[in-house]
Structure formats: C-alpha cells, structure tokens
A and B are shown apart, each in its own frame.
Chain A
Amino acid sequence: MTAVLQAERVTRELPGEVVVTLVRDVSLEIQAGEFLAINGPSGSGKSSLLYLLGLLDMPTSGEVRLNGEAMGHCGEDDLARARLAHMGFVFQSHFLLPEFTALENVMLPMRRLNRLGDAEIANRATALLASLGLDDECQKVPKQLSGGQSQRVAIARALANDPAVILADEPTGNLDTKASEVVQSILKGLAHKHGRTVVVVTHDPQFAAQADRIVTIVDGRIAQTSA
C-alpha cells in the first residue's frame, strides 16, 4: 500500500495577540483505499486537521504530501488546482450552490477542470446522481431537496473529478438517523466497494466504528489510534 496523503509533524497556529494552536505536531499517513475516521471532542482541532490534509489550509510548520509530493512550496493557484483534481469535499450541510440545480452542482467541478466535453460532463453527473439514488432529483434546486438528499448531491459533486481522496467534515452532523445511516453506508461503500480513500471527521462513535482506522484528536494532538 502506498500513502496517498501524508502529514509530517504538521502544526497549525492562528497568529494574534494570543497564539492559538489548532493542530500540534501531527504526523499521519493515509493509505490508498483506506477508510479513516478522525474523532474527538468539539474544538479539538479535528476539522482543522482535515482542512490541512485537504490542502484548504497551509500548516504553520511541517509538511503535507499528496501522492508523495510536498505541497508546502505551492502557491494558492497550485493548491486550488490540486484540490480540483485530487480532492473531493463534503461538508456538514447546506454547502450546495443555491441557484444551481443538483445536476449543475455536480457538473461544476468538471466544468472548472475542463477535461471533458459538455455532453460527457452532463452524462457523468447524471450517472453519479443516479448511482446515489437521486435519479428524480437532478433538476431540483437545493431548496427543494431534503437534508439527506443534499448531502448525497454533495457526495456526487465530491466524486465528480474522480479524486484521490474524499474528505468529509461531519457529513452526518445535521441529518436525522435514517438519512445519516444512508450517508454513512455510501461513504463506507466508496472505500470498501470502490476502493476510494475516504477521510471522515465525525464525533459519532457509531459512525467512526465502521472505519478501518480511528484517529482520536485531543487538544490538537493525536491521542489515540485504533484499528
């Protein structure tokens, strides 16, 4: 197994009168096809670690490697490009563009990457939505979708450019039990059936328990790793 994402002694501080340390000296390797859960109490820095792994944020010290390549020297445009091609994000909720239909939301990353033709993009987006059971929801705008449906559209969008890693930040945080179970099984299936690398931040122990490995963050540090 090769490491898709590596964090090497990563520290993230927020500058200011009192320096706040969000992530403290974390080293972590994520293997291709692994389903990793990051849990911990709220405010422990688990989301901040996810942003660092997802190249949304840059560490104050230490290095994040994507497919073995150090990203520390990259400019903002390079990071944006890396996110576009290799990362797929799923956030807590309501993170779809409200003026665009479900289909258009899923097409957005592909149109930005501009590798496929318009017809292929539309076909792939439709197929992705269909694979998540959203055949009838393609032309609906986010306002017309339930929380669980929105989150499935967000997952489809995260998958749009066939990324190396799916990063989910509390994807079930705002969902009822039933919808939450659907989203959990989709994310689990992506890792176990389709061989995708999935990193999930969650404080739900039952969800975390389904992962291959659980990393527990307390006070910005890795407190415990369990398989």
Chain B
Amino acid sequence: MISLLSGVALRHLLARKRQSLVSLLGVVLGVAFFLAISAMMQGSEADFIKRLVDNSPHITIEDTYRNPTLQPAAQLYRNGVVEIRRVKPETETRGIRGYAKILDALRARPGLRASAVLTGQALINFSGRDVAVALNGIVPAEYRDVSTIQSYMVVGSLDSLNANQDGIIIGDQLARDLSLALNENISVSGTAGQPRTFKIVGLFHTGRVQIDSSQAFVQRKRVQALMNRTNRVNTIIVKLKDPYAARAEAALVEARFVYKAVSWQEASEDIMSTLAIRNLIMYTVVSAVLVVAAFGIYNVISTVVLEKRRDVAILKSIGFRARDIEWIFLLQGIILGAFGNLVGLPLGVLFMTSLGGIEFKLPGSSDVVRLPIDWGWEQFAIAGGFAFSASILAALLPARKAARLHPVDILRGGT
C-alpha cells in the first residue's frame, strides 16, 4: 500500500519538477548551512575553551575556606540552635598547612599534576621607581608541568631560575616600562621589608598586558624569605589530563583537604554562560533557516493540493480513504525532507571541510590562522532531525486539507 501511495506522491512531485527542486534546494541549503555555521561556532567555542583551559590552572587550591570554620559550640551541637556573636577568628599564619602531604596525595591520583606556589605582592625598585608586581615563588621543574608560561618565554627559560637561584623572570612589558634588559639587577622588596637583589634571567610575552606588566617569577624559597613565610605556600595549582573533570575533582579535593578548590569552570562561569547563550542564539538563527525551508515545502505541497483537487476526487471516488489521501501528500513532505537530508548532509560536510581549509592572516600578526572547525554527530542529528520534522510538519497541514476534500463538491464544482 505504501508503495502505491508513495508512487502517487512521487509522480505529483515530478510533475512540477522546478518547484519541487526549489523547495528541495531550500532543505538542502538549510541543512548544509546549519552544519557549516554550527561547526564554526562549535569550533570557535572549542578553540576558546582550549585557550582558557590551557592558560589557566584547571584547579586552584587556595589557602582560604569556602565557608567560615565552625566554632566548637556549633560543631558539638550540630542539630542544636547555637548562636555565637562577635566571633573573631584566631590569628594564624596564612598559607596551606602540610602542603607537601597534600601534593603527595594529589600526585597519587592518575592524570593529575600539581605544583605548590607562594605568591605575594612585592615592589620592584629600579632607578628610583617603584612598581608593584605579583611575585610567584615557584619550583621550576614542577611549575613547568602545570603552566604554559614556558611556551611564552622570549629570552631564557624557567630553568634559568635553577642556574641562578637569585634570578627573576619578568614580562617584556614590565622590562620596557622600566627600561630593563636581560642580566640587569633589580631590587625587590616584599612585605617583610627587607629588599633583595635579583638578576633578570628571562623575559616572557603572553600578549596580555595585564600579565606581561605585573607578573614575576622567582624561586619559591626566595619568596618565602622575602615574605618571611618560611616553608609556606598559599596556592596549589593543578592540571588534569581531562580538563572537563575539573569540577568533580575540585569538589573531591575540597571535601578531603577543606581548603577552597576552584575549578576553571567555576572561575570562568561568566564566560561559560556567555558561550551557552551564544550557542542558543546560533541554534535559533540556524533553525530559522530551516523554518524558512519548511515554508518552501508548505508552499509547494499546498500548491500541489490545490492543483490536484480533481485527482483527489478521482481517487476518493475510486475508493481511496481520507487517510490514503493524507498519506499521499504527507509522503511528498517526507520525500523532500529525506532527499534534502541526503544531499544536504554531505554538502554540509563539504562546506565544513572547505571552511576549515581557509587560511588567513589577522591584521598586525604574521601568524597564519585557520577557522576553527569542530563537529560531532549531535550536529548532524540536530540538522537532519530538525529538517526532516520541519518538512513533515509543513506537509501535514496541506495533507490534512486534501484529506478533508469532499469528492462531490469537486465533481459538482465543474468539469
């Protein structure tokens, strides 16, 4: 039966080849553009997240607590109504206690790299000028594993800090600001007050002025001495093999070591929600393309129904049921939707690959850039599914109308 009905449907479409082709083209282009645009959006999102993930720690463990510590009275009576007023926390030396043990525990987990850092504010004094910088006290060997700073080094490397224990690495912007050059000495004073002299052993350039003009790296021991915080660190930086596990991993760390552990997702929640909104907008716009294509299908099938009123009367008088008639026109939508997908999906792949092959140079940069393209089966499923259901929906309305046609009305209406 379905072969009979689809045979009639196909003849109807073939009878108006040009119109059918145009509406088919609507679906084809809709699907292809949907794929191309969503691949570009997804690609740029993936690219953006990759930069974000690569350049920032996956998890940062800080020397603070997410929630204020419970007072003994509240700890004792967990279910009781305890009110303590005017609590003044105990003065304690800041920093992560027992960080060596925490590091060992962290490193025991598979795919996890961690490095302990002591950061603090310091003043660089040079030729009568004071510039505030964030001084990072690191152990170069382990810090290299958790940071991308090594790849931004213009002169020297992180290992230069090992060669010269009194070495300092600063951003090229800061060097320019202070007219400094490699191997020059600068005086750095920390919160403990005692200035120390460091020799510039490396320069880095990340391209972000904020970092290039205010970050400096030295041996951890030196910072501990400068800040008068021997054997302390205040940050543990963690990198994971799978960055997307950061949220769960951070929760585990926090549950175990109490210190506040912030995943990169939490740290850049605003960016993540911006990306989500961007995706929503993109899918709305691209779906609109398919909706327009669906109107094309509605148009052609409506026209066919109008033109085929007489055929409907013939078929009904022969003994075709209303449902048969509905199927004939619904099948036209299904045929257009299916063929649209059949041609549109490969065409979309072609679009995506050729877009991915385009090379261009950004103004002011000598790097050759390619459009980031990324696709997954979900996009094909959404594009195909949406186009197909839109086609069916567009055919359903005229098909219903055709099914309701009364043969006698048409026979009476004129021959």
Whether A87 and B319, one on each chain, are in contact in the complex, defined by CB atoms closer than 8 angstroms, is yes
Q: Report Cα–Cα, A57/B313, bound state, in Å.
A: 12
Whether A95 and B314, one on each chain, are in contact in the complex, defined by CB atoms closer than 8 angstroms, is yes
Q: Report Cα–Cα, A114/B5, bound state, in Å.
A: 13
Of chain A, the residue at the smallest CB distance from B412 is A47
- The prevalent SS among residues of A at the interface is mixed
Among B115-159, those with CB < 8 Å from A are none
Among B314-353, those with CB < 8 Å from A are 314-324
- B319 in complex: contacting residue of A47, A57, A83, A95, CB < 8 Å: A83
- A91 in complex: contacting residue of B4, B323, B415, CB < 8 Å: B415
A97 CB contacts on chain B under 8 angstroms:
8, 11, 311, 314-315
A157 contacts partner chain B, Cβ-Cβ < 8 Å: yes
Candidate in B313, B314, B318, B415 with the most chain A CB atoms within 10 angstroms: B318
B255 contacts partner chain A, Cβ-Cβ < 8 Å: no
A109 CB contacts on chain B under 8 angstroms:
318-319
A84 contacts partner chain B, Cβ-Cβ < 8 Å: yes
Of chain A, the residue at the smallest CB distance from B12 is A99
Tally of chain B residues near chain A (CB < 8 A): 26
Of chain B, the residue at the smallest CB distance from A107 is B4
Whether B321 and A95, one on each chain, are in contact in the complex, defined by CB atoms closer than 8 angstroms, is no
A213 CB contacts on chain B under 8 angstroms:
none
Whether B11 and A51, one on each chain, are in contact in the complex, defined by CB atoms closer than 8 angstroms, is no
Whether A89 and B317, one on each chain, are in contact in the complex, defined by CB atoms closer than 8 angstroms, is yes
B199 contacts partner chain A, Cβ-Cβ < 8 Å: no
A56 CB contacts on chain B under 8 angstroms:
316-317, 407-408, 411
B319 CB contacts on chain A under 8 angstroms:
80-85, 87, 109, 112-113, 161
Task: Work out how many contacts link A and B, with CB atoms closer than 8 A.
Answer: 79
Whether A80 and B415, one on each chain, are in contact in the complex, defined by CB atoms closer than 8 angstroms, is no
Candidate in A89, A92, A157 with the most chain B CB atoms within 10 angstroms: A89
- A112 in complex: contacting residue of B310, B313, B324, CB < 8 Å: B324
Whether B11 and A91, one on each chain, are in contact in the complex, defined by CB atoms closer than 8 angstroms, is no
B22 CB contacts on chain A under 8 angstroms:
none
Candidate in A76, A81, A113 with the most chain B CB atoms within 10 angstroms: A76
B14 contacts partner chain A, Cβ-Cβ < 8 Å: yes
A176 contacts partner chain B, Cβ-Cβ < 8 Å: no
A77 contacts partner chain B, Cβ-Cβ < 8 Å: yes
Q: Report Cα–Cα, A89/B320, bound state, in Å.
A: 13
Whether B317 and A77, one on each chain, are in contact in the complex, defined by CB atoms closer than 8 angstroms, is no
Whether B408 and A57, one on each chain, are in contact in the complex, defined by CB atoms closer than 8 angstroms, is yes
- A83 in complex: contacting residue of B4, B11, B311, B318, CB < 8 Å: B318
B1 contacts partner chain A, Cβ-Cβ < 8 Å: yes
- B320 in complex: contacting residue of A57, A80, A93, A157, CB < 8 Å: A80
B15 contacts partner chain A, Cβ-Cβ < 8 Å: yes
Interchain nearest-CB distance for B401 vs A (Å): 16
- A51 in complex: contacting residue of B8, B322, B411, CB < 8 Å: B411
B313 CB contacts on chain A under 8 angstroms:
95
Interchain nearest-CB distance for B98 vs A (Å): 82
Interchain nearest-CB distance for A152 vs B (Å): 16
Interchain nearest-CB distance for A105 vs B (Å): 9
A93 CB contacts on chain B under 8 angstroms:
415
Q: Report Cα–Cα, A89/B1, bound state, in Å.
A: 22
Whether B322 and A98, one on each chain, are in contact in the complex, defined by CB atoms closer than 8 angstroms, is no
A218 contacts partner chain B, Cβ-Cβ < 8 Å: no
A65 contacts partner chain B, Cβ-Cβ < 8 Å: no
Whether A95 and B310, one on each chain, are in contact in the complex, defined by CB atoms closer than 8 angstroms, is yes
Whether A114 and B318, one on each chain, are in contact in the complex, defined by CB atoms closer than 8 angstroms, is no
Q: Report Cα–Cα, A157/B12, bound state, in Å.
A: 20
Interchain nearest-CB distance for B174 vs A (Å): 80
18 contacts between A and B (CB under 8 A): A77-B322, A77-B323, A80-B319, A80-B320, A80-B321, A82-B319, A83-B318, A91-B314, A91-B317, A91-B415, A94-B310, A97-B314, A99-B15, A100-B11, A108-B4, A109-B318, A157-B318, A169-B411
By Cβ-Cβ distance, the 3 closest A-B pairs, closest first, are: A84-B319, A99-B11, A83-B319
Q: A56-B317, A108-B318 are in contact. List 6 more A-B contacts (CB 8 A).
A: A47-B412, A76-B322, A80-B322, A89-B317, A93-B415, A98-B311
| Chain B interface residues (CB < 8 Å from chain A) | 1, 4, 8, 11-12, 14-15, 310-311, 313-324, 407-408, 411-412, 415
